[in-house]
Structure 1
Amino acid sequence: MPGGCSRGPAAGDGRLRLARLALVLLGWVSSSLTSSAPSTSSASFLASAVSAQPPLPGQCPQPCECSEAARTVKCVNRNLTEVPADLPHYVRNLFLTGNQLAVLPAGAFARRPPLAELAALNLSGSSLEAVCADAFEHLPSLRQLDLSHNPLVNLSAFAFSGSNASFSAPSPLVELMLNHIVPPDDERQNRSFEGMVAAALRAGQALRGLRRLELASNHFLYLPRDVLAQLPGLRHLDLRNNSLVSLTYVSFGNLTHLESLHLEDNALKVLHNGTLAELQSLPHVRVFLDNNPWVCDCQMADMVAWLKETEVVQGKARLTCAFPEKMRNRALLELNSSHLECDPILPPSLQTSYVFLGIVLALIGAIFLLVLYLNRKGIKKWMHNIRDACRDHMEGYHYRYEINADPRLTNLSSNSDV
């Protein structure tokens, strides 16, 4: 687990300036009071004091490469453990890829003066495990953020909105890349990864201006019901290369500006009527559905009919069946209702499971018969005892019946009782 979230150390530029001024004044006072010291020593002291200060704002941090003309700073593959404190104020494009940042604390980019022109921030592949609340505050022009290829164990729900989401201004983000941010299974802390990402996307309606969202290669099994509820301005949504088996619970109805929806390389088996109707209602959308294991049975009939009529799906002629075996590689557009049957044909893996279950039950049955055979004498004696007991009971009932049926025997029985 990464370290706790705290405010970034770079927020104290004002304190650095005060310390620098105090050091210079101290050198001037000491040189004035020490009349026996030569003037050269005072000058050398001041020179060393000034040279020992951090770089002035506008200078390039030592491990980075800067281009003021291109407004770009690159700190790539430098094994940095924190964001450089002395970033130039002119930076518009900042690359911090391939480092060892681990934690992005609150105020990680807060500076005085602020980085008011920073518009594109790339933090991909920097071993980030935690992004804290308010990590991107004081970046008023940030439009593009890339956090891809980081094993995020903790993505704060207020990472993009700020801890006072109900009062803070909307995020300026237009493009957000969160590709391949899934942590290892042993570091998920028994929490839903899908839920953690959804909470960060919907907190405080901060991302209402977001137009591009990339969530590829995250092993998503499902999409939470309201994950897209606060993203009405979304135009491009990339969900390719996940493990989505259904879109039943997620709603696309509010994404009226959506232009592209990438669902390639998932585990989708069929799209149901509710999803089909929502996609058809979006006026500008293009949907990509390649490389999904479509199951061509009777439940596919509505989707096949929809595919034949709609122009929403791009490359729909390439969509083919994966199951059942007899339909494998058949194009969906070539199917009709007579091809789509719900046969009791099971996938090979399920067939193997039933065969194994049959073998186990047969073995249990054989053991039971063997136990009966080994105890056959005791079982035979037990059955004889039951038979004799039943016979005695039946004879008693038969005797009573004969007495009750014959009046003479009844009277005789009554007199004998007397």
Structure 2
Amino acid sequence: MFGLDLLARLGGRRSRRRLPLWPGLGEGGGAAGAVVMKPVSVLVLVQVLGTVSSQPEQHCPPPCECSEGDKTVKCVNRSLSELPPDLPSYVHTLLITGNNISRLSPAPLAGLGELAALNLSGNRLQELEPGALAELPRLRQLDLSDNQLHNFSSQPFGARSPLEALDLSGALYNDSVLASSLAPVLRSGALGALRSLELADNRLLYLPRGVFAALPELTHLGLSDNFLVGLPGGALANLTRLQTLDLRNNSLRRLRNSTLRDLPRGLRLRLAQNAWLCDCDLEELLAWLKQDAAAAAPVVQDREQLVCSDPEALSGVPLLSLGAADLKCSAPDDLSSLQTSYVFLGIVLALIGLIFLLVLYLNRKGIKKWIYNIRDACRDHMEGYHYRYEINADPRLTNLSSSLDV
């Protein structure tokens, strides 16, 4: 403040001399002579010009389209094999889709501190390297759909990511990638702020135990268009804030009562296009559906579309129209009769064994004599062989053996 006041006083004193703006222009009338600049103004102008000149110019990579006003960069269908370098730091939304990028490394995204939405769908992406998305402090939305991801490194999102929405629909190479590579990332707690997770169309057969346990903020979970045959116990136990769960077009045959108890309150559930088996085991789900239909805020949004797939007699029949009498328990009856048949067969075999042992006991003396006779016959036979061997071995007894044979 003291320096600025001093400069102001000096400027005030010198202003009486009417200094020219440019050297070589003297005092006097005219436009040039009328312009006077104080030292403070010159100092401020120099600082402003220096600040402007020190800011790097924002370039747009040649294959991309950039809009600084919208803070958007688009690189769509450009046959890129890697992310373009020197992306402008102002970018808020980055769309790089329809290319041939197999690996995602952290270097091209470094310095994009304003990036909030990143779309990398349809790039044939196979691997996320360690820390690939760790240096994006404002990233909220990430779309990796329609890729061929084989491997997620141990910490592609860093120790703690601000990510809120992750789209992995059709992104996994096969169903084993979830258990071997993605599940450890989800369990690590790095995505604890995640609110929306989309895993549709990944040919998933089952869900690893506790795969969503470290996602307490999750409100939407999409699992449609897979091959899930059931939900393991406790799969949804920790998702207390879950609001929507999409299980359409899977291979669900039934839902156990333990699974239904884990559903959080206020959940909106979709279950259409599954192969429901309408037998006695469906009774729990059927009762729950009818109770849910009468509730003020029903859980199952598409309950009218749930139809039986098996048995053939009930194929296409809506679940809500079924009664207890329609759920024939033929399978348990057949199983009971089969168990009875096995028991009867065991009893018969036991009786046969007892009869056989009884016959052996009653004929023990005759059997003993028969065994002795066989033993003596074998002994005589062996002695005859031994005698012939001794004669053949002695040349002096060869003639005697011949005469005896005659």
Q: TM class by shorter-chain length?
A: 0.5 to 0.7
RMSD: 2.4
Counterpart in the other structure of 2:241 = 257
Amino acid at match of 2:90: Y
Counterpart in the other structure of 1:216 = 200
Amino acid at match of 1:125: G
Checking the alignment, whether the CA contact within 8 Å between 1:124 and 1:148 is kept in structure 2 is yes
For 1:18-57, what aligned pairs fall within 5 Å after superposition?
Answer: 57=57
* 1:114-166, Cα deviation, whole Å (9 max, x unpaired): 21110000000111111111001221110000111111111123112x2xx3x
Counterpart in the other structure of 1:307 = 289
**Distance in 1 of aligned mates of 2:177 and 2:137:** 31
Checking the alignment, whether the CA contact within 8 Å between 2:270 and 2:301 is kept in structure 1 is yes
Amino acid at match of 2:58: G
1:159 to 156, 160, 180: 156
Instruction: Show structure 1 runs of 4+ deviating over 6 A.
Output: none
**Structure 1 residue 284: deviation in Å?**
2.1
Checking the alignment, whether the CA contact within 8 Å between 1:222 and 1:246 is kept in structure 2 is yes
**Distance in 2 of aligned mates of 1:192 and 1:87:** 31
1:329 to 312, 316, 319: 316
For 1:15-164, what aligned pairs fall within 5 Å after superposition?
Answer: 57-110=57-110, 114-160=111-157, 162=158
The alignment partner of 1:338 has SS state of helix
For 1:176-215, what aligned pairs fall within 5 Å after superposition?
Answer: 176-183=166-173, 193-203=178-188, 205-215=189-199
The alignment partner of 1:75 has SS state of strand
**Distance in 1 of aligned mates of 2:180 and 2:206:** 10
* 1:318-360, Cα deviation, whole Å (9 max, x unpaired): 1110011111011111112211123249xxxxxxxxxxxxxxx
**Structure 1 residue 108: deviation in Å?**
3.9
Q: Report percent identity of matched pairs.
A: 46
**Distance in 1 of aligned mates of 2:100 and 2:174:** 17
In the superposition, the TM-score normalised over structure 1's length comes to 0.64
Gaps of 5+ in 1: 1-55, 186-190, 346-389, 398-418
**Distance in 2 of aligned mates of 1:394 and 1:58:** 108
**Distance in 1 of aligned mates of 2:60 and 2:92:** 14
Checking the alignment, whether the CA contact within 8 Å between 2:165 and 2:197 is kept in structure 1 is yes
**Distance in 2 of aligned mates of 1:152 and 1:239:** 17
**Distance in 2 of aligned mates of 1:193 and 1:258:** 20
Counterpart in the other structure of 2:10 = none
Amino acid at match of 1:260: T
Cα distance change on mapping 1:78 and 1:394 into 2, 3 Å: closer
**Structure 1 residue 250: deviation in Å?**
4.6
In the superposition, the TM-score normalised over structure 2's length comes to 0.66
Q: Return the index of the structure with the highest Cα Rg.
A: 2
Checking the alignment, whether the CA contact within 8 Å between 1:322 and 1:329 is kept in structure 2 is yes
**Structure 1 residue 67: deviation in Å?**
0.7
Checking the alignment, whether the CA contact within 8 Å between 2:201 and 2:224 is kept in structure 1 is yes
Amino acid at match of 1:284: G
Checking the alignment, whether the CA contact within 8 Å between 1:224 and 1:250 is kept in structure 2 is no
Checking the alignment, whether the CA contact within 8 Å between 1:108 and 1:135 is kept in structure 2 is no
**Distance in 2 of aligned mates of 1:88 and 1:327:** 61
**Distance in 2 of aligned mates of 1:104 and 1:337:** 55
